Amino acid sequence: MDLPDVQSTCPDVRINLTRVGVKNVKKLVEVSRPDKRPVVFISNFDVYVDLPGSLKGANLSRNFEVIDEVLQEAIDGKVSEIEELCSVVARKLLDHHEYAERTEIQMRSEFMVRRETPVSKTWCHEVVKVYARAVAKRNGEHPIIRKSIGAEVTGMTACPCAQDIMKDHAIHVMQDLKVEPEKIDAFFEQVPMATHNQRGRGFLCIETDDDSHVSLEAIINVLKASMSASIFELLKRGDENYVVMQAHSNARFVEDCVREMARRVVQEFGDLPGDSALLLRQTNEESIHQHDAYAERKATLAELICELNAD
């Protein structure tokens, strides 16, 4: 006996719904790479379609079928980037949900990055949080797709304000000790002053059309270079000296981090279409305060290029 298709019946309250779907679908994502080991992501997916007021519900089992189908394509080497994976899922969801005008998939992952420390050349790992998203809108036979790729990286920042205060104090102490002015200047050229530090979390997300490519590795490198210094899970003494010296020689406010991020984005991704949407943000966990410092910028690539060229 055929069971009734309850989802296709008319609801009591006939209004359209913007998003209907499933959240926190956990999957192991393996993306193949030419001449390299596959990249493995531990991922959570949120999958949505819009729903017209004439239908009681969406067939959610189709979402799982599409995800599994595309994940297998990634394993087989047909999908090479996680944002491409999301765009393929979004496109296929339109095929499986014939009533939907819009589909959306969000992916949150943890990615293990292998890194070498700066002095001892010791290998260690760190976890990078990776975000991908795709939205597909029906447009005849050729859906309009926008995809996003982003990452959150942890680093270190040093406060310029407290550093200036400490430097002024040190100058007065050395002057009282009759240290010659040229020696004072030579000292500060070699040894940056102490200041308080923050653990910073930089985030960068770039949204483009489906034909564009954004390197996840390049995003991670931009984020690392935008803070005072990179941090490592394992540090020998020489590495620790290097990281501390680098951070204090490169003191930055939370605002400086976002502005440096913007400069590097234009430098690295300036060839992307001008309507590429950017989200840049930095959160610094203060060490001498109980609050966090935060800065953010949303813009298109064309807007950032225009502002930076105005300088």
Q: Return the structure tokens found at 44.
A: 């959570």
Alpha-carbon torsion angle 92, 146, 135, 66, nearest 10 = 20
pLDDT reported for residue 275: 96
Instruction: Write down the pTM of the prediction.
Output: 0.88
pLDDT reported for residue 186: 94
Q: Compute mean pLDDT per 10 residues along the chain, 311 residues long, and list them.
A: 65 86 87 74 90 83 81 70 87 88 93 89 92 93 93 96 94 94 93 94 96 93 96 92 94 97 97 97 93 96 94 62
pLDDT reported for residue 38: 76
| Extended beta strands in the chain, E state | 17-33, 36-51, 102-116, 123-137, 144-158, 197-209, 229-230, 277-286, 292-300
CA-based Rg of the chain, rounded to a whole angstrom? Answer: 25
If you write DSSP's letter for every residue of 200-228 in order, what string do you get?
Answer: EEEEEEEEEETT----HHHHHHHHHHTSS
pLDDT reported for residue 172: 94
Q: Mark 13-52 as b/e (b = at least 16 C-beta within 10 Å).
A: eeeeeeebbeeebebebebeeeeeeebebebebbbbbbbe
**Cα 303 to Cα 264, 297, 300, distances in angstroms:** 14, 11, 5
pLDDT reported for residue 2: 61
Task: State how far Cα 274 lies from the chain centre.
Answer: 20
Q: Where are the domains of the chain?
A: 17-159+196-309
Does residue 45 contact residue 73 with C-beta atoms inside 8 Å?
A: no
Distance in angstroms (rounded) separating the CA atoms of residues 176 and 26: 64
The structural architecture, per CATH, of the domain 17-159+196-309 is Roll (3.10)
